[in-house]
Chains A and B, each alone.
Chain A
Amino acid sequence: MEIREYARPKSMDQAMHLICEEHGTAIGGSAWLRTSTKTVMLGVDLCDLGLEYIREFQDHIEIGAMTTYRELETSPLLDSRFGKIFRTTVSHIVGVQLRNIITVGGTVAGRYGFSDLNTTLCAIGARVVFYPNVEKDLSSFIEKGYASPFLIEKIILPSSARAAYQQMRISESDFPIINTAVAWTGTVWRIAVGSRPAATRICRNAMKILGDSANPSDEQIEAAAAETSKETQFGSDIRASANYRQKILPVLVKRALLEVRG
């Protein structure tokens, strides 16, 4: 990527002005800059905005947009509230050196089809906060996007959930062929599917089959897993055919559901 001019705003207002009024392009993790062929007239680096944090509140957890994957992976707070799902989700992504660079906000903003993390965040029921203070359901944002230039401030998670992540890859650090995350939030089951190869979607019909009990029956789990492959749209690419993805998904969903139910 070629960047003609570079700015490093010190406040959210300043960053928002550069993005909205000066047509700047936000730079989050920066990991894709090297391989992109775009020319950016003004790169707005978000690294000085104090958005690297994972904070616990009484009824939710906030993750700043510039928090790195490595910080997610090594967070005792996330481990204690969500088990090992964040570690499992990001552990296949290249190496520690890349995970020290790439950010939560960059991943969410990109709405990438191959994303591991967006699938997990959607399953947990994350919400995304756009500056100044516009809150949206993350899965809705990933599906529909945002009408105007935006600046992501943070991600909001519920205070805890039992959750599991499953994926299939051709090789260890490649993009996934298909991935899924499931969560029991305490009141409902949530199932998200990503890398279809398109972006993450919620499997609403399958979620209904599981009902509102923390202990769905084996039959409910079988039926919900089968339903995910019916209600999800798949595509073909260099890694796998749509048909292959459709066959694999229920297996992964079942494994994840059994892991969470116990």
Chain B
Amino acid sequence: MTITLYINGNEKILDCQPGDMLTEVLRKAGYVEVKKGCDTANCGACTVLIEDKPILSCSYLAVRADGKRITTIQGVAEEAKEFARFLTAEGADQCGFCAPGFALTVLSMKRELRNPSEAEIRHYLSGNLCRCSGYEGQIRAIKKYLEAVHD
């Protein structure tokens, strides 16, 4: 099958099988920033935005995405770099494998919630697992980042 995706603003015509998940199709097309983690809808590493909503690409049929706008972390690179400065300052990023999915979820939260409490931040990010950091540094970084961008 052939599908047309609008990835980070660029039209891409891609081949896929009916049962292929979006993660596989994106990675085969060179978008390796979309990480393949648990592959069972638990870890959030494969997060991409579809029509600006965060979704798990490991559990989303590629054919269902036909005609839709997909955003990977490369599509919001400048915003992500700014957020990364706060992560770095808090020592909150270690191996970096979860970072693309994590950052996309944070940026999505920033657009969806105004002045979220710490509980709301933790709740929104509960679908992103990090096996290195223990989350505390990430939470500090997110709070400082949101304060900075909303000022």
| B contacts with A, residue count (CB < 8 A) | 30
Contact B63 A30 (CB under 8 A): no
**Contact (A97, B56) CB under 8 Å given A2-B19, A6-B1, A30-B64:** yes
- Max count, chain B CB within 10 A of own CB: residue among A27, A33, A43: A33
Selected interface stretch from B40-48, B69-77, B85-93? B40-48
Contact with B along A187-220 (1 / 0, CB 8 A): 0000000000000000000000000000000000
Size band of the A side of the interface?
Answer: 20 to 34
Of residues 127 to 167 in A, which have CB atoms within 8 Å of B's CB atoms? none
Interface residues of A in 42-72 (CB under 8 A from B): 43, 45, 47, 70
List residues 67-105 of chain B with CB under 8 A from any CB of chain A.
105
Q: Is the CB of A33 within 8 A of B21?
A: yes
A3 touches B54 (CB 8 A): no
- Interface assignment of B127: CB less than 8 Å from any CB of chain A: yes
Q: Please, which residue of chain B has its CB at the minimum distance from the CB of A68?
A: B53
Given A34-B41, A98-B41, the answer on whether A173 and B126 have CB atoms closer than 8 Å is yes
Q: How far is A8 from B18 in the complex, measured between Cα atoms in Å?
A: 11
- Total number of residue pairs linking A and B with CB closer than 8 Å: 81
Known: A3-B18, A35-B40, A47-B64. A98 touches B124 (CB 8 A): no
Q: Which of chain B's residues 87-141 have a Cβ closer than 8 Å to chain A?
A: 105, 108-109, 123-128
- A96 contacts B19, C-beta separation under 8 Å: no
State whether the Cβ of B142 lies closer than 8 Å to any Cβ in chain A: no
B39 near A: Cβ within 8 Å? Answer: yes
Known: A6-B63, A30-B61, A45-B64. A97 touches B47 (CB 8 A): yes
Q: Which residues of B contact A (CB under 8 A)?
A: 1, 17-19, 21, 39-42, 44, 47, 53-56, 58-61, 63-64, 105, 108-109, 123-128
